[in-house]
Amino acid sequence: MLDSISPGRLSCAVLDDDPVDRDRLRRLTRGTQIRLYTIQCPEELLGQLRRAHFDVLILDKRMGITSGLEVLGSVREAGWPGPVILLTGSGDERLVAEAFRSGFADYLSKSDLTASALERAVGNAVDKSRLEIELGAKTQELAERVEQLGKSNAEIRRVYHYLSHELKTPLTSAREFISIVHDEFSSNLDDVACDLLVKALRNCDQLAVHMNDLLDVSKVDTGKAALKLERHAVADIVDLVASDHASSCRAKGLDLRVESLDPRLSAIMDDQRVFQIISNLISNAVKFTPKGETSRSALDAISSHLQCWRLR
pLDDT in tens, 245-290: 887 787 778 887 777 777 788 889 888 888 888 888 888 888 888 7
> Is 150 part of any domain?
no
Q: Residues 23-48: what's their mean pLDDT?
A: 89
pTM (two decimals): 0.48
Per-residue pLDDT tens digits for 63-76: 777 788 888 889 98
| Boundary residue ending a domain (65, 97, 113) | 113
Considering the chain, what is the average pLDDT of its residues?
80
More confident residue, 234 or 220: 234
pLDDT higher than 70, residue 292: no
Q: Rounded CA gap, 67 and 69, in Å? A: 5
Kindly tell me if the per-residue pLDDT of 161 is higher than 80. no
17 — phi, psi (to 5°)?
A: -85, 0
**pLDDT band at residue 96 under the 50/70/90 scheme:** confident
Instruction: Residue 287: give its domain's CATH number.
Output: 3.30.565.10
Work out the pLDDT band at 4, boundaries 50, 70, 90.
very low
Q: Is residue 45 part of a domain?
A: yes
For position 3, what pLDDT does the model report? 37
- At 148, the pLDDT band (50, 70, 90 cuts) reads very high
Q: Give 294 or 87, the one with higher predicted confidence.
A: 87
Distance, in Å, from the CA atom of 16 to the CA atom of 29, rounded to the nearest integer, reads: 15
Domain-ending residue, one of 80, 113, 146: 113
Domain membership of residue 299 as a residue range: 227-312
Taking 70 as the threshold, does the pLDDT of residue 1 lie above it? no
Read off the pLDDT of residues 115-130 as tens digits, 9 standing for 90 and up. 888 888 898 888 888 8
Burial (Cβ within 10 Å: 0-12, 13-18, ≥19) of residue 309: middle
Within a domain: 149: no
Q: Which of 208, 228, 207 is nearest to 274 (CA)?
A: 228
Q: In whole angstroms, how far apart are CA 90 and each of 64, 68, 94, 107, 282?
A: 17, 14, 11, 10, 76
The pLDDT score that the predictor gives to residue 146 is 93
* Number of domains forming the structure of the chain: 2
C-alpha–C-alpha distance, residues 304 and 80, integer Å: 62
82-102 core/surface letters (b: 16 or more CB in 10 A; e: else): bbbbbbbeeeeeeebeebeee
- pLDDT score at 145: 93
Greater pLDDT, 33 or 295: 33
Tell me the CATH number at 79.
3.40.50.2300
Which one of 113, 128, 163 terminates a domain? 113
What pLDDT sits at residue 312? 38
Please list the residues that pair with 84 across neighbouring strands.
Answer: 57
Q: Is position 50 within any domain?
A: yes
Q: What is the pLDDT of residue 144?
A: 94
φ and ψ of 5, to 5 deg: -95, 135
Q: Are 182 and 197 in contact (CB under 8 A)?
A: yes
Q: Is the pLDDT of residue 204 over 70?
A: yes
Counting residues of the chain whose pLDDT is more than 90, the rounded percentage is 10
Residue 275 resides in a domain? yes
Residue 165 belongs to some domain of the structure: no
Answer yes or no: are the C-beta atoms of 107 and 95 closer than 8 Å: yes
Q: What angle do CA 25, 48, 113 make, to 5 degrees?
A: 15
* Mean pLDDT in residue range 189-201: 86
